[in-house]
Structures are given as structure tokens and as C-alpha cells.
């Protein structure tokens, strides 16, 4: 058994902006089910404190760079017995809004100070200086918000092994030299072999340089980020670390309790790979709820996403618009929020085709489950996708994903070519070029195959029976923790 401190800036259901939160809840739970002593550590945002019962203040400590003392609060992750520690500092975290941005969408101005404080607290916990009488063997950091911790630990003799997991290279925590100065960090960290990145300070680079091992969330993405196209200027460093055996891709799993069509409390009709036809009832209800004409033979397309360029939302809108103009028998149900330009384009699409397009702008957990259970295909034409969870939720719900061949999408979706269908491994539709035309071709293939219910059902069953649980991936992480120790 190892003691693992798992540090993350978002953990479902306490705070979530994306897949990082899902992973930060389900991986620690899976590790604890495998007998590891894992403690999750995150900031005590206002929203978390509202959601947690039985919070106890277990320590107070003073951290460099901030004049007041901060608290360590303890609770358990809802629905589990996994201990979660939260960094309580009302000045930094007790506010309305998201973890990184204000209610109006602008980044918090003091993000560097907020997450530097978080990193300093991670360090204190890592070397058992927080008054908790618990010394981890492994510190598992996630994304830029935790990147300074391995750097600050690097010269501490009694430090744990450190792993840094990249969930998305697009967000790096870049700040100016003046911010570096304001954080009161060791001057030695300002170097090309440290945090400096083209005249800026990079939290992400700190994690990549100073951790003992780097992982990312799919094998394909681990290869892609070593290329200029996906590495955001850090590809050289990543290539070096990959060549010396310090970068691995481990595919995320999904929470099989939360995302299970046989037990999902958000959906009306439960079904499984043995009863795939029952899914139709959810489709009917979803069409009804969304004020779309009820029609079994219409290909119902789902889209749940942060509305940002990464997700290829513009490709989805252009492709669906083209097919609707042609009079194809399709409907679109979309749930998401994000950049104004995409929200606007989706509103325009709905206004043009009110009986074909349903749209909810916002974040809605229940509706996201109902969409996964009700639609026939799921659109995910991402320009890049470190792992992607929604396509795996779709597969589990017998909803065939239509994806671009990149990152975790390429590692989980097998294209419906005739050969793959014969071999009973096809579970969705893939295309390569990031263009509406390429997506339209895949959508046309889906529309055509949907006319053959038996072939379609076969693919649904292939999708639903593939194992995307955390079982395998948790074992790979445990092997890695072990391997680093030996090294």
C-alpha cells in the first residue's frame, strides 16, 4: 500500500469545469479500491464548502508568500470514504464564480497568487509539515495549477516521488516576470531550465521539468504533444522527457457507477447491452422534452461541450447546417456554454431550424445524462483531445460517437468501415481532416447506416460492451508509482 497525495484544482462534484474534475474524483476512488491510501487535496472554493457536510478544520499553518495563516479542512468525497483535504483561505478562494474565472468569464486577476499558495500548501503536506501527521510516498499533481509544487519540492531531501499529469497542454498558467517577482519565489527558478518560458513564467513548465515522471491522459496524446502542432512550444522538452522514458500516456477511465444506463437515476428508462432497444424510449422522451417532433427514424445527434475552438464546435455547426439545408432527416440536441461567438451561431442555427435543433446554453448535469441516453450519435470533432470523456460516456450508452482521429478519441473510437464492422470492433465514425466537409462525410455514413437497424444495433452492442472502467488504468498508475520508487 502506498500513501498518495492527489492534488487537483477541481474535483467532481465539488467543483468542475471539465474532465479534470471527473478524473480527480474517480481515479482516487479507484486507487483506494485497489488498497492505496489516497488523500485528495484541492482549494476550498465557496461552492465546495456549500456542497460538503461534516467539514472539520484539522490544521492551520503559515505559508511563504502570504501573511495570514491558512486552514486545512477535512471531509470525504461525497458517496465515498476517500478523504479530501481542502486549502481554506477566504481571501483566495471564498468568492462567487468559477475556479479560474469571475462570473463574467474573465480570469481572476490573482490566479497566480491563488495557485502559488495552493502549490505551497501541497509542498507542506508533501513533507509532512502541515500538522497532519501523514507523509505521502507519492505526490500526484494535475495540470498547471499544481505545477509549482514539484519545483518547490525539488531540493527537499525528504520529498515524495512526484508525478505530473497533463490533462490539457492548451492551458499552461503563463504570467509576466512581474508576477514571478510578486510571488516571492526562489530567484534560481527563473531560468531556461526552470520556469522561464520566452520571457514569461510558466506553471506548466515547472511541473514538466521538476517532476520525476510525466503522464498524460491517452497514449496518442502522449505522442502528439511531442510535435510542434500540439506541444505549444514545449514539444522539445516533452520529446526529451519521452526519450528518457519519463513520459507515459495512460487512458482515463470513466466512473462506471455514475455513467451506467442500467442504473442512471437521471434517465427514465434503464437499458443495457442486453436490452439496447429500450434506449428508444429515452430518445422519444428527449425529443418530447426538447420540443422536437417525435420520430424514431430521424437520426438524433447530441452535442455536449465546452463551446471553444478545441472542440471543433464551428465544424459541428457548419456540418449540421449543411445537412439540414439539404433536408436530411436529422435533429440536433445541444448543451453547452463557452465563447460568445459559438453560443451565437448555435442560437442562429436553432432560429433557422426550430423543429430540428434544440439548444440549452448552460451547464446541466441531469440533461447531459439524458442526452447521452437519448441520442443516436454524439458529435466530438475536436481539433485536439487529450483524452475526452464524453465519447466514452456515449459508448457506454450505446450512442455512437462521430470523432476526429486525434488524442484519446483515436484511442477509443473504431471507425465503422466494413472490415471493422465484420470484425465486430467498429463502435463509431472517425475522420481526419479538421474541416466541415470531412465531418459531413462521416455524418452521411452515419445517416446511411442508421437505415439498417440490425447493423446499427450490432455497433451499439460493441460500443456498450467495451470496458472503459478505471480498472485497467488504476492498475497502470499503481505500477507507475511502484516503478518510480524503484528508479
**Nearer of residues 22 and 376 to ligand ADP, judged by Cβ:** 22
Number of residues that bind ligand ADP (CB under 6 A): 17
Region near ligand ADP per CB under 6 A, out of 93-101, 288-296, 321-329, 331-339: 331-339
Angle subtended at Cα 133 by Cα 131 and Cα 139, rounded to the nearest 5 degrees: 95
Shortest spacing between CB 137 and ligand ADP, in angstroms: 28
Shortest spacing between CB 455 and ligand ADP, in angstroms: 27
Q: Does 8 participate in binding ligand ADP (rule CB under 6 A)?
A: no
Quote the crossing angle between the two packed helices 313-325 and 340-352, to the nearest 10°.
10
Figure out which of the listed residues 335, 439, 460, 464 binds ligand ADP, where binding follows CB under 6 A.
Answer: 335
Q: Does 253 participate in binding ligand ADP (rule CB under 6 A)?
A: no
**Nearer of residues 361 and 441 to ligand ADP, judged by Cβ:** 361
**Nearer of residues 92 and 369 to ligand ADP, judged by Cβ:** 369
- Grid look-up 437519448 returns 374
Helix (H/G/I), strand (E/B), else coil: 335 = strand
Shortest spacing between CB 419 and ligand ADP, in angstroms: 28
Looking at beta carbons, which residue is closest to ligand ADP?
A: 19
Burial-class residue 89 by CB neighbours within 10 Å (0-12, 13-18, 19+). Answer: buried
Shortest spacing between CB 253 and ligand ADP, in angstroms: 12
The answer to whether the beta carbons of residues 359 and 431 sit under 8 Å apart is: no
For every residue of 114-143, DSSP letters joined together read HHHHHHHHHHHHHTT-SSS----SEEEEES
- 455 is known to lie in a ligand binding site: no
Question: Restricting to residues 375-434, which ones interact with ligand ADP according to CB under 6 A?
Answer: 387-390
Q: Does 18 participate in binding ligand ADP (rule CB under 6 A)?
A: yes
Question: CA-CA distance, 82 to 99, in Å (whole number)?
Answer: 22
Task: Name, in order, each residue with C-beta under 8 angstroms of 311's C-beta and a sequence gap of 6 or more.
Answer: 305, 380, 381, 382, 383
Closest CA to 38 of 124, 125, 118: 125
- Grid look-up 444495433 returns 457
Shortest spacing between CB 252 and ligand ADP, in angstroms: 8
Figure out which of the listed residues 27, 113, 138, 304 binds ligand ADP, where binding follows CB under 6 A.
Answer: 304
Shortest spacing between CB 51 and ligand ADP, in angstroms: 16
* DSSP category for residue 87: E
Applying CB under 6 A, the residues found at the interface with ligand ADP are 18-19, 22, 304-306, 335-337, 363-365, 368, 387-390
Instruction: List binding-site positions.
Output: 16
Amino acid at each position: 500500500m502506498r500513501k498518495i497525495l492527489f492534488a487537483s484544482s477541481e474535483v467532481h462534484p465539488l467543483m468542475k469545469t471539465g474532465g479534470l474534475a471527473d478524473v480527480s474524483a474517480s481515479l482516487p476512488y479507484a486507487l483506494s479500491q485497489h488498497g492505496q491510501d489516497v488523500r485528495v487535496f484541492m482549494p476550498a472554493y465557496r461552492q465546495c464548502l456549500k456542497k460538503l457536510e461534516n467539514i472539520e478544520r484539522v490544521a492551520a499553518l503559515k505559508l511563504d508568500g502570504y501573511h495570514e495563516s491558512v486552514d486545512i479542512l477535512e471531509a470525504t468525497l461525497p458517496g465515498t470514504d476517500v478523504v479530501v483535504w481542502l486549502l481554506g483561505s477566504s481571501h483566495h478562494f471564498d468568492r462567487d464564480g468559477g475556479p479560474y474565472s469571475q462570473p463574467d468569464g474573465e480570469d481572476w486577476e490573482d490566479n497566480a497568487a491563488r495557485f502559488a499558495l495552493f502549490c505551497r500548501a501541497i509542498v507542506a503536506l508533501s513533507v509532512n509539515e502541515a500538522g497532519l501527521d501523514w507523509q505521502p510516498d507519492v505526490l500526484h499533481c494535475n495540470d498547471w495549477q499544481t505545477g509549482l509544487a514539484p519545483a518547490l519540492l525539488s531540493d527537499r531531501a525528504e520529498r515524495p516521488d512526484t508525478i505530473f499529469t497533463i490533462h490539457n497542454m492548451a492551458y499552461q498558467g503563463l504570467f509576466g516576470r512581474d508576477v514571478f517577482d510578486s510571488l516571492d519565489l526562489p530567484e534560481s527558478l527563473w531560468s531556461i531550465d526552470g520556469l522561464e518560458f520566452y520571457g514569461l513564467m510558466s506553471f506548466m513548465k515547472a511541473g514538466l521539468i521538476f517532476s520525476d515522471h510525466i503522464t498524460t491522459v491517452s497514449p496518442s496524446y502522449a505522442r502528439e504533444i511531442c510535435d510542434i502542432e500540439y506541444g505549444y512550444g514545449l514539444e522539445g522538452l516533452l520529446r526529451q522527457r519521452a526519450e528518457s522514458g519519463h513520459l507515459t500516456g495512460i487512458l482515463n477511465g470513466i466512473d462506471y457507477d455514475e455513467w451506467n444506463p442500467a442504473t442512471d437515476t437521471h434517465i427514465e428508462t434503464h437499458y443495457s447491452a442486453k436490452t439496447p432497444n429500450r434506449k428508444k424510449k429515452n430518445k422519444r422522451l428527449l425529443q418530447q422534452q426538447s420540443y422536437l417532433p417525435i420520430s424514431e427514424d430521424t437520426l438524433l445527434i447530441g452535442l455536449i461541450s465546452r463551446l471553444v475552438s478545441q472542440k471543433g464546435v464551428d465544424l459541428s455547426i457548419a456540418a449540421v447546417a449543411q445537412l439540414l439545408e439539404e433536408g436530411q432527416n436529422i435533429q440536433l440536441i445541444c448543451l453547452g456554454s463557452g465563447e460568445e461567438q459559438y453560443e451565437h451561431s448555435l442560437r442562429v442555427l436553432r432560429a433557422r431550424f426550430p423543429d430540428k435543433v434544440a439548444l440549452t446554453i448552460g451547464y446541466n448535469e441531469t440533461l447531459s445524462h439524458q442526452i447521452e441516453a437519448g441520442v443516436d450519435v454524439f458529435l466530438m470533432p475536436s481539433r485536439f483531445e487529450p483524452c475526452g470523456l464524453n465519447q466514452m460516456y456515449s459508448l457506454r450508452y450505446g450512442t455512437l460517437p462521430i470523432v476526429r482521429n486525434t488524442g484519446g478519441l483515436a484511442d477509443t473510437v473504431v471507425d465503422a468501415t466494413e472490415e471493422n464492422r465484420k470484425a465486430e470492433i467498429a463502435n463509431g465514425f472517425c475522420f481526419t481532416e479538421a474541416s466541415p466537409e470531412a465531418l459531413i462525410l462521416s455524418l452521411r455514413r452515419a445517416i446511411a447506416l442508421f437505415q439498417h437497424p440490425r447493423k446499427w444495433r450490432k455497433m451499439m452492442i460493441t460500443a456498450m460492451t467495451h470496458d472503459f472502467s478505471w480498472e485497467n488504468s488504476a492498475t497502470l498508475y499503481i505500477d507507475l508509482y511502484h516503478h518510480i520508487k524503484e528508479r
